[in-house]
Amino acid sequence: MTTFDRQLLELLRDADSIVALTGAGVSAESGVPTFRDALTGLWAKYSPEDLATPEAFARDPEMVSRWYDQRRCGVAGCKPNGGHAALAELQRRAAAEGKQFTLVTQNVDRLHQAAGSTDVIELHGTLWVWRCVDCGDEAEERGPAFSVYPSRCSCGGKRRPGVVWFGEELPGQALLQAQRAAGSCRLFLSVGTSSVVYPAAGLIDLALRNSARVLEINPQETPFSSRAHWSIRGMSGLVLPELLNASFECTS
Ligand code: OAD
């Protein structure tokens, strides 16, 4: 059983605005591979330039769409873990008390939503929505693996996954909402992210500039660890539920 700093527990209980930024580590315990973990991360096995850029899709749409469709089908078998559930609970608790809670994710798996989180700000899009590169038509795909790659729109155009690739802009509205929330919160939680991909990682800077307190939960050190007010080295699926319970029970 972890013992948490009392000031952190009180802030988690009392802060009128909290932002949580999540990354692939939050879904690791659900069986979704991360990107940069040395042995198991996707970028340890594949090159992002070959799979996660508009140029890669233009060069080899079959390979790129097959890879993303495999990831979509892989995630379909994954269930949210205790970390996702705790963040959904934190949101319910904030709503019941008239406080603000904003969940910003870099994840494309929608496991937060599966755990009950609402109004999730998806900075990097989602694996579940595919978009025609010609007519822009979007469709949610929850079925089995596609039968042809790249899959085709009814207009005949190629369809691409609705994720943000390297070299592409983040969805403007989502980024703006995330920046506003980060720049005005009292407590910022950075969970399961390596904090190396911008502009998502820059949200922590915005929060710090506005004198928010920052908690990082990650088994590994990140470029932001030294600036976080609290750094908990652990797995979010275990740490978050314990932390939330401790803050529920904390009386002052
Ligand atoms: P990364 O793979 O870069 O980082 C995952 C982080 O999760 C690492 O710091 C791990 O130490 C940590 N981690 C691993 N297991 C964990 C656990 N059980 N609990 C908590 N943390 C754990 O993933 P992201 O930071 O999400 O972008 O990567 C950011 C972006 O880079 C992704 O959205 C993706 C990628 O390229 C795009 O595809 C545009």
The DSSP code sequence of 234-245 is: S-HHHHHHHHHH
Mean pLDDT value of segment 138-149: 96
pLDDT band at residue 137, thresholds of 50, 70 and 90? very high
pLDDT at 49: 86
Please report, to the nearest 10 degrees, the dihedral formed by the alpha carbons of residues 99, 100, 103, 104 taken in order.
-160
Residues 46 and 120 in one domain: no
Contact 190, 21 (CB under 8 A): yes
Asked if 233 and 118 sit in the same domain, the reply is yes
- For residue 46, pLDDT beyond 90: no
Residue 1 scores a pLDDT above 70: no
Q: Are residues 141 and 238 in the same domain?
A: no
Task: Please name the residue whose Cα sits nearest to atom 13 of ligand 1.
Answer: 25
Q: Among residues 163, 183, 211, which one ends one of the domains?
A: 163
Q: Which residues line ligand 1 (CB under 6 A)?
A: 23-25, 28-29, 34-37, 41, 52, 106, 124, 164, 192-194, 197, 217-220, 222, 235-237
Same domain for 10 and 102, yes or no, is yes
**Residue of 53, 124, 194 to test ligand 1 pocket, by largest number of atoms within 8 Å of CB:** 194
pLDDT, the chain, mean: 96
The two tokens of residue 167 are: 């070299």
Does some domain include residue 120? yes
What span, in angstroms and rounded, lies between the C-alpha atoms of 177 and 180? 5
Domain extent for 138: 41-77+128-163
Residue 237 has pLDDT above 70, yes or no: yes
Say if CB 72 and CB 128 are below 8 A apart.
yes
Same domain, 188 and 233: yes
Measured from the Cα of 239, ligand 1's closest atom is 19
Q: What is the pLDDT of residue 2?
A: 76
d(CA 161, CA 146): 12
Phi, psi dihedrals of residue 160, rounded to the nearest 5°: -115, 155
Q: Residue 101 has what DSSP assignment? A: E
- Inter-CA distances, 9 with 3, 44, 63, 132, 168, Å: 10, 36, 47, 47, 38
In this structure, the answer to whether residues 227 and 180 fall within a common structural domain is yes
pLDDT digits (tens, 9 = 90+) for 48-88: 888 999 999 999 999 999 999 999 999 999 999 999 999 99
Q: What SS3 state is found at 162? A: strand
Q: What CATH number has the domain bearing residue 65?
A: 3.30.1600.10
What pLDDT, on the 0 to 100 scale, is given for residue 45? 86
Q: What is the pTM of this model?
A: 0.97
Q: What confidence tens digit (pLDDT) does each residue in 94-134 have?
A: 999 999 999 999 999 999 999 999 999 999 999 999 999 99
| pLDDT over threshold 90, residue 44 | no
Instruction: Note whether residue 1 is domain-resident.
Output: no
